């Protein structure tokens, strides 16, 4: 096994036996394939600059800048005062599952509470789905660009993520044939997002139906990430469940509901999967956070919903301001997002590689953005992601600084 | 692939191609190997009986009956009021990592805060360690009896749990040779607990050292589950890290610190593993619960520590009361626990199988206990687990009811 030493950067251990010696890897193979996000280095460097007294404009953070809405926070405090600190049912308290079901009813989709699995964040939901759906060696089709962690959930279960390039021509979403062409005997299913991170675009409803049908014919599953649900102005559908009933849906209290640090999300799964998901959740998590679950009940009440809606409106306004400003500076935004809080921006007119451009903007102009390389390999050197999770004044200041940077480059 | 249909209970999907038709499994193979815990059925039946108006004595619950200590709850409320609702660093806020490091210092063990990874419960810690350490096909040695979820974490990563029987002769802990004899070319490491669930016994310090040394010589890792740390009256060591520095330690705020529903734990890992664990945590969790982390800071303050210590004392008293009562009734308790809050009790004098005995006690006498089958296969039909997570009055009532049951059986 000595040759492995050359190809695997993770630590190797020398093992001696009476007759032989050999090297064995200290860690699992997958850890060599997981690279840290550049955005983490960007965040660390931004913090340094702030400690030095600089004002940094933050376009890099994939988290709403608003605190959790006060009615939710108050419900969290009340839950603690009421002693809501013990384990709950593995799949969430029945009240919350019913409340989420009612939320879907309000969107015009009927979802039995039994099919709703409350999870420790959408992250926890992806751990469960990977455990449910992927055997070692199974391929999971994902998009490039896409949410960078998706690969790691597949790898956790021994699965193999397979990137399918998506382009601006099709609003950074796959066509059905893109997936079917990528399908192999090892493929087990696909994980798509609507809207996506980093592009904010939704999957066309007819394409969604076609993909679901084609995957089903191949014995495959379809996971649809809807964690930006609600942050869309005029969606062609409110949930993919309107179009395909037996989807695996991933959702979260982090984005529209503004509860990032509470770590709460949910899955909707087909009836047949409920028992297996329950067994997995019981073993892998015991239960989701109890105070977070009780707080989340308040997230659906009118007072909180009014706050969420107002914030969604603010995000849409910021999208316009930022997009207009960037276009005025010569950037290309090939596709305006349907929702979420990201613009995926082509910076090739700067003549720079996107990662170099990000570091230059941060180090010299104190503007933090995320380079395309965090989201995949496809044309990543031309793209950056701007998150408009900062107020309009900061957006305008950021645009001024970028203008200065472009003047210098010109 | 049609033959699979016979052997795999999970749903199969019929796939047709122009030239052929075949069946493919809908779910990953591991889900067929995960059986729900009997204790979950016991809990559900107990709840039914309570709804019918019965008073049930609960010896089945692996969770302290005390609420989270008030200073921690107050700190949680304060954290919410202060807007501690956003993501934190993936491995936990630096203050908490330092505080945990100081806690180890107080126990006489030096642990750099960098080596401490704060996790979403010990469950989250096991997800990370499985991801870090197990490639598909790798064996993880575990004890039988042992914590039933351990197998599922190994399977999540495609690993293969391998049970090593432990017996009362050696206080339900393995000897070094038990592990070395079970070791194969596919083995990658072992996961042991000290104290254990369901037996509450600690691993002998010399055996721990011998096991660690022998595994290292085989290029293997050792994970030590210390989630019941603190719930031991006179431990031979406060942490296995006193004896072996490069252990992977699993710990939790759930048991001694009484924070079950908050879902917070931590790992201590060797220096070499820190970066990989950080990358995994970043991808798989984003961050642990923020309000829980700030609340946990208060768990180490004198006011809260005094409460934890008092509760640990109460658990020890209950152990005596329950053990004496059960012995008076003719039960064999081959080994008294060093800590935790469990008695592993031999019920063979009843002439019944342990699972049948549990159901009889519950249905006819409203006493809930957990059968041995939830913890493994080795002599499981003779053993049950009593959790003394209920007050002394209830313990005495439970003993009376069990006496009645034995009278009926006699």
- Between positions 246 and 265 of A, the ones with CB within 8 A of B are 258-263
Which region among A21-30, A218-227, B97-106, B367-376 has the lowest average model confidence (pLDDT)? A21-30
The three-state secondary structure class of A252 is strand
Distance CA A366, CA A364 (A): 6
Chain A with chain B: Cβ pairs closer than 8 A:
241
Report the first-to-last Cα separation within chain A, whole angstroms.
53
Q: Which two tokens stand for residue B313?
A: 């004392």
Per-residue model confidence (pLDDT) at position B2: 40
Q: CA B92: distance to chain centroid?
A: 22
Alpha-carbon dihedral A267, A268, A273, A275, rounded to 10 degrees: 70
Per-residue model confidence (pLDDT) at position A353: 97
Distance CA A278, CA A92 (A): 10
Q: Which helix (H) or strand (E) holds A251?
A: strand A248-252
Is 90 exceeded by the pLDDT of residue B28? Answer: yes
Contact B40 A149 (CB under 8 A): no
Distance CA A204, CA A235 (A): 10
Per-residue model confidence (pLDDT) at position A2: 40
Categorize the per-residue pLDDT at B36 as very low, low, confident or very high, splitting at 50, 70 and 90: confident
Interface probe with B: pick from A8, A27, A387, most Cβ of B within 10 Å: A27
Environment class of A281 (CB within 10 Å of its CB; exposed 0-12, middle 13-18, buried 19+): buried
Mean of the per-residue pLDDT values of chain A: 94
- DSSP structure class, residue A68: P
CATH entry, B35-62+304-409, from 3.40.50.720, 3.20.20.70, 3.40.50.2300, 3.90.1150.10: 3.90.1150.10
Residue A360's CB is within 10 A of a number of other CB atoms, namely 16
Report residue A285: phi and psi, to 5°: -130, -20
Q: Is the domain covering A36-62+304-409 a CATH 3.90.1150.10 domain? A: yes
> What is the distance in angstroms between the Cα of A368 and the nearest Cα belonging to chain B?
18
Per-residue model confidence (pLDDT) at position A3: 43
Pairing state between β A139-144 and A187-193: parallel
Q: What residue spans of A173-300 are helical by DSSP H?
A: 176-182, 205-217, 274-284, 290-299
Average pLDDT over residues A320-330: 97
Distance CA A42, CA A60 (A): 8
Q: Which among B35, B121, B261 is the nearest to A88, CB-wise?
A: B261
Is 80 exceeded by the pLDDT of residue A259? Answer: yes
Average pLDDT over residues B372-392: 96
> What is the distance in angstroms between the Cα of A36 and the nearest Cα belonging to chain B?
6
Residue B314's CB is within 10 A of a number of other CB atoms, namely 17
Of chain A, the percentage scoring pLDDT greater than 70 comes to 97
Sequence-ordered list of residues with C-beta below 8 angstroms from that of B120, at least 6 positions apart, any chain:
A120, A124, A263, A285, B263, B264, B265, B285, B288, B289
Residues of chain B with Cβ-Cβ distance to A152 below 8 Å are 280, 283-284
Is 60 exceeded by the pLDDT of residue B253? Answer: yes
Query: What's the sign of the alpha-carbon dihedral B36, B40, B45, B51?
Result: negative
Q: Concatenated DSSP letters for A86-139?
A: S---TT--HHHHHHHHHHHHHTT----GGGEEEESHHHHHHHHHHHHH--TT-E
> Scanning every residue of chain A, which has its alpha carbon at the shortest distance from the alpha carbon of B12?
A219
Interface probe with A: pick from B17, B28, B39, most Cβ of A within 10 Å: B28
Output b/e per residue, B357-393; b: 16+ Cβ within 10 A: bbbbbbeebbbbbbbbbbbbebbbbbbbbbbbbbeee
- Say what the pTM is: 0.95
Average pLDDT over residues B163-183: 97
Report residue A85: phi and psi, to 5°: -125, 10
Could you give the C-alpha distances from A231 to A119, A225, A315, B146, B329, in angstroms and in order?
A: 21, 13, 8, 46, 63
Per-residue model confidence (pLDDT) at position A11: 64
Whether residue B395 contacts residue B325, with contact meaning beta carbons closer than 8 Å, is answered with yes
Categorize the per-residue pLDDT at B11 as very low, low, confident or very high, splitting at 50, 70 and 90: low
Residue A237's CB is within 10 A of a number of other CB atoms, namely 18
Closest CA to A59 of A338, A356, A366: A366
Per-residue pLDDT tens digits for B91-121 = 999 999 999 999 999 999 999 999 999 999 9
Categorize the per-residue pLDDT at A8 as very low, low, confident or very high, splitting at 50, 70 and 90: low
Could you give the C-alpha distances from B192 to A2, A7, B197, B308, in angstroms and in order?
A: 30, 32, 10, 25
Whether residue B43 contacts residue B62, with contact meaning beta carbons closer than 8 Å, is answered with no
Q: Concatenated DSSP letters for B361-385?
A: HHHHH-EE-EEGGGG-STTGGGEEE
Closest CA to B309 of B255, B256, B254, B238: B256
Categorize the per-residue pLDDT at B238 as very low, low, confident or very high, splitting at 50, 70 and 90: very high
Residues of chain A with Cβ-Cβ distance to B263 below 8 Å are 120, 263, 285-290
Angle at alpha carbon of residue B84, lines to A340 and A304, rounded to 5°: 55
Categorize the per-residue pLDDT at A10 as very low, low, confident or very high, splitting at 50, 70 and 90: low
Is 80 exceeded by the pLDDT of residue A258? Answer: yes
Class of domain A77-300: alpha beta
Could you give the C-alpha distances from A74 to A298, A329, A356, B80, B83, in angstroms and in order?
A: 9, 44, 44, 8, 11
Is 60 exceeded by the pLDDT of residue B1? Answer: no
CATH code of the region B81-300: 3.40.640.10
Whether residue B83 contacts residue A67, with contact meaning beta carbons closer than 8 Å, is answered with yes
Residue B108's CB is within 10 A of a number of other CB atoms, namely 11
Query: What's the sign of the alpha-carbon dihedral B238, B244, B245, B250?
Result: negative
Per-residue pLDDT tens digits for B116-169 = 999 999 999 999 999 999 999 999 999 999 999 999 999 999 999 999 999 999
Q: Which two tokens stand for residue B232?
A: 């031991």
The three-state secondary structure class of A221 is strand
Whether residue A104 contacts residue A241, with contact meaning beta carbons closer than 8 Å, is answered with yes
Categorize the per-residue pLDDT at B7 as very low, low, confident or very high, splitting at 50, 70 and 90: low
Q: Concatenated DSSP letters for B293-320?
A: HHHHHHHTSHHHHHHHHHHHHHHHHHHH
Is 50 exceeded by the pLDDT of residue A1? Answer: no
Q: Is A306 on the interface with B (CB under 8 A)?
A: no
Per-residue pLDDT tens digits for A335-369 = 999 999 999 999 999 999 999 999 999 999 999 99
Distance CA B110, CA A291 (A): 33
Residue B14's CB is within 10 A of a number of other CB atoms, namely 11
Per-residue model confidence (pLDDT) at position B410: 84
Which region among A35-39, A211-215, A220-224, A372-376 has the lowest average model confidence (pLDDT)? A35-39
Where exactly are the structural domains of chain B? 1-33, 35-62+304-409, 81-300
Per-residue pLDDT tens digits for B49-86 = 999 999 999 999 889 999 999 999 999 999 999 999 99
Per-residue model confidence (pLDDT) at position B8: 56
> Scanning every residue of chain A, which has its alpha carbon at the shortest distance from the alpha carbon of B84?
A261
Of chain B, the percentage scoring pLDDT greater than 90 comes to 90
Contact B282 A40 (CB under 8 A): yes
Which region among A13-22, A126-135, A386-395, B138-147 has the lowest average model confidence (pLDDT)? A13-22
> What is the distance in angstroms between the Cα of A330 and the nearest Cα belonging to chain B?
34
Which region among A36-45, B162-171, B287-296 has the lowest average model confidence (pLDDT)? A36-45
> Scanning every residue of chain B, which has its alpha carbon at the shortest distance from the alpha carbon of A93?
B261
Q: Where are the beta strands (DSSP E) in B59-129?
A: 116-119
Closest CA to A192 of A212, A217, A168: A212
> What is the distance in angstroms between the Cα of B106 and the nearest Cα belonging to chain A?
27
Q: Which residue has the tokens 């592990």?
A: B179
Categorize the per-residue pLDDT at A9 as very low, low, confident or very high, splitting at 50, 70 and 90: low
Residues of chain B with Cβ-Cβ distance to A41 below 8 Å are none
Q: Which two tokens stand for residue A305?
A: 């919903």
């Amino acid at each position: 096994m000595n040759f492995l030493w050359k190809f695997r950067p993770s630590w190797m251990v020398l093992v001696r036996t009476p007759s032989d010696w050999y090297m064995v890897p200290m860690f699992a193979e997958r850890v060599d394939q997981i690279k840290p996000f550049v955005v983490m280095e960007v965040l660390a460097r931004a913090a340094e600059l702030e400690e030095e007294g600089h004002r940094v404009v933050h376009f890099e953070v994939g988290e709403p800048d608003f605190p959790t809405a006060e009615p939710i926070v108050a419900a969290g405090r009340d839950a603690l005062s009421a002693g809501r600190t013990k384990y709950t049912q593995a799949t969430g308290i029945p009240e919350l599952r019913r409340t989420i079901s009612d939320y879907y009813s309000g969107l015009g989709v009927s979802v039995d509470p039994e099919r709703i699995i409350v999870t420790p964040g959408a992250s926890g939901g992806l751990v469960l789905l990977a455990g449910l759906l992927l055997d070692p060696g199974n391929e999971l089709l994902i998009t490039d660009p896409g949410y960078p962690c998706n690969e790691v959930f597949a790898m956790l279960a021994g699965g193999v993520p397979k990137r399918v390039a998506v382009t601006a021509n099709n609003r950074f979403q796959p066509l059905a044939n893109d997936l079917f062409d990528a399908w192999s005997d090892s493929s087990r299913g696909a994980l798509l997002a609507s809207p996506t991170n980093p592009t904010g675009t939704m999957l066309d409803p007819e394409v969604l139906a076609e993909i679901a049908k084609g995957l089903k014919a191949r014995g495959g599953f379809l996971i649809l990430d809807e964690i930006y649900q609600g942050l869309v102005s005029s969606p062609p559908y409110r949930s993919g469940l309107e179009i395909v009933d037996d989807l695996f849906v991933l959702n979260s209290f982090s984005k529209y509901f503004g509860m990032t640090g509470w770590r709460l999300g949910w899955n909707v799964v087909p009836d047949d999967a409920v028992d297996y998901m329950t067994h997995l959740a019981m073993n892998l998590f015991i239960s989701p956070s109890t105070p977070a679950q009780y707080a989340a009940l308040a997230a659906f009440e009118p007072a909180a919903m009014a706050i969420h809606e107002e914030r969604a409106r603010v995000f849409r306004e910021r999208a316009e301001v930022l997009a207009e400003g960037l276009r005025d500076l010569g950037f290309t935004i090939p596709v305006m997002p349907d929702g979420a809080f990201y613009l995926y921006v082509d910076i090739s007119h700067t003549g720079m590689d996107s990662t170099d451009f990000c570091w230059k903007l941060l180090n010299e102009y104190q503007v933090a953005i995320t380079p395309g390389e965090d989201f995949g390999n496809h044309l990543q050197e031309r793209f950056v992601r701007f998150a408009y999770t900062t107020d309009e004044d900061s957006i305008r200041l950021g645009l001024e600084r970028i203008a200065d940077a472009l003047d210098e480059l010109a």
